[in-house]
Chains A and B, each alone.
Chain A
């Protein structure tokens, strides 16, 4: 069977893989040797694995950022940017239509902050537009008296204590303040504020609000206006991360909805769930729904049952003794504590209710029950549990990595900088490693949703997928291990050492290799593992292409290891 070849090739790669961090292959061979596949990724490779990518030099970092930015199909907006853009749009409309800024603002809000829509509508039928938003040409009532009666408190007051919208209906300033304040506290409806006269449609805009209310109300109104600018505009959305106040302006047509906010949260612009490449929005929705429907069940099963060691069906222990008998047809008798056969117990384990095996193992610390159960879950519980657990554990690893990253940035980097007499700017490689770990945990997490929905009958794809996933996992483990454990010794070191330079080379190399591997993985999965299809359809020629991904990665690893190393030599 074809897929057999596949796996054999894959295994071959694994053997190459084992030594690829210490290897000496040339980085350039990567892009030349692997035909079609590489054409898709060349663009990135130039930035990432080519000579530009130098872990040591500041300049290289900058060029990397620039390269990444040029591909972005979105802009993250800070509060100041939002204000600026809104001001600019208002100015544009105000200038083109020759109307006050306040009126321009009312119009923009009416047409969801689309400047072109305002222009279109206005020039098509100015009268209708004016009417629909309550922009009057002139007052509908005029008074010549020196004193006027406020339409709300009925007091007769001198003109200087009376204010009116464009319509001229007189209300005293105190009542205006109460009226506007009440509306603002009722919510964003205050943005379509009208004259209090029930028969009048005259709009009340920001100038009037600012002139007649407290600073607290003014600020609230401005906040609603800013919110409207983001929420009513089809091109912008708030970052959904809790507490984040940035917004994202998205330019359609990139084909990729992933957005990384400046707050470090990544989300999908299309569905506003967290970023989920390589899985599509529909799958994510299904998966999240599934989790919410089944996680309760699953948690209960995991917490309250153990799988029968023989038939793997989950068993809830509802009676006191440790002697378990599985229901027919299995009928296996076993010990609840150690999950060993009951026939091994009794006299030999020191009596009926004592399980020495369990006690002894627990004392030695080798008996990791959770570990064992995780292992069991794979076989016993539904397929879903298998994927869900891994999805969830990558999620929590990611959370942990995020907090480690934070710890690194706030505490450890400064310490390392002192110990090793290196400016913090030269320690960026550590931050980058952690950022990469966070990103990889996210991708890996979603590969489990991907795997769950990958059809059972597509054997070749499944095998290939699991291979890629397994490799991704172990690659990431290596990186995580290096960034977490190997770093420790340098935190307690006495002073600068040659070892720290070696560590730098290794960690930077691992970061780059892992980054490339995951990027390729995402592309391959987004592509629906299409290479496997073509492989099944035609002959051996494409089989080389499939494994090309792995080989490419392997050789790339060597390339980077080397380029990292050589650049170090250069710098030293």
Chain B
């Protein structure tokens, strides 16, 4: 684990805290061979179309972290206007609104919140956003369907 010896203290502290006091509905643990790579699981928030689902994500801390934002991606297929079919997430704090005072925990909480409150006005996936805006009830049904299909067996 040569590349982990120089791990900044901040990352070590964050990791320890994530493991010892995890946020509700979120788990994140570093990969064994790369302490900058995290396996993440987020439970679909209650009263959202994703309720009951378990969503896998990957999170990577780039060399510049915390000056640069972590890279996060959904591994589980999800029907959401701000998440595309590759699992990429449209979230301001992962881009221009990133601040080094944010943390892995805050990022994951924001993603969880995004599942509760999809924002079809700032879409990543045009089709899903359009579906959401023209027929929200139907779009929510599809999201539920996808949750059942892809996010239940995790």
Which residue in B13, B68, B93, B101 is a CB contact (below 8 Å) of A182? B68
Residue ID in chain A nearest B13 by CB atoms: A154
Contact A179 B100 (CB under 8 A): yes
User: Is A198 in the interface zone, CB < 8 Å from B?
Assistant: yes
Q: Are A178 and B100 CB-contacts (below 8 A) given A152-B66, A154-B14, A198-B93?
A: yes
Asked if A196 is at the interface of the complex by the 8 Å CB criterion, the answer is yes
Given A154-B14, A182-B67, A197–B9 Cβ distance below 8 Å? no
Question: How distant is the Cα of A179 from the Cα of B102 in the complex, in angstroms?
Answer: 12
Please name all residues of chain A whose beta carbon is closer than 8 Å to the beta carbon of B100 when the two chains form the complex. 152, 175, 178-179, 196
Identify whether the interface residues of A are mostly helix, strand, loop, or mixed: loop
**Does A171 belong to the interface (CB within 8 Å)?**
yes
Given A154-B14, A179-B67, A182-B68, CB of A196 within 8 Å of CB of B99: yes
- In the bound complex, CA of A211 to CA of B64 (Å): 22
Interface presence of A294 (CB below 8 A)? no
- Contact B101 A154, beta carbon cutoff 8 Å: no
Cα A196 to Cα B66 in complex, Å, equals 11
Asked whether any CB of chain B lies closer than 8 Å to the CB of A151, the reply is yes
Residues of A within 8 Å of B8, CB to CB, are 153
B133: interface (CB < 8 Å): no
A151 surroundings in chain B (CB, below 8 A): 101
Interface string of A190-230 (1 = CB under 8 A from B): 00000011100000000000000000000000000000000
CA distance A155 to B9 in the complex (A): 8
B85 beta carbon closer than 8 Å to chain A: no
A390-446 contacts to B (CB < 8 Å): none
B44-97 with Cβ < 8 A to chain A: 64, 66-68, 93, 97
Q: Judging by beta carbons under 8 Å apart, are B101 and A153 in contact? A: no
A472 to B8 alpha-carbon distance, docked (Å): 74
Contacts of B10 in A (CB 8 A): 152-155
Contact residues in B for A152 (Cβ distance below 8 Å):
10, 66, 100-101
Shortest beta-carbon distance from A455 to chain B in Å: 50
Which B-chain residue is minimally distant from A198 (CB atoms)? B99
Contact with B along A142-166 (1 / 0, CB 8 A): 0000000001111100000000000
Partner of A178, one of B67, B97, B102: B67
Smallest Cβ-Cβ distance to B17: which chain A residue:
A154
Other-chain residue from A155, A178, A196 in contact with B101 (beta carbon distance below 8 A): A196
What chain B residues lie within 8 Å of A155 (beta carbons)?
9-10
What is the minimal beta-carbon distance from A200 to any residue of chain B, in angstroms? 9
Contact of A171 among B14, B67, B101 (CB under 8 A): B101
Closest 8 CB pairs of A and B: A196-B101, A182-B67, A152-B100, A151-B101, A154-B13, A198-B99, A153-B10, A196-B99
Given A155-B9, A196-B101, 10 additional A-B pairs, CB 8 A: A152-B10, A152-B66, A153-B8, A153-B9, A155-B10, A196-B100, A197-B99, A197-B101, A198-B93, A198-B97
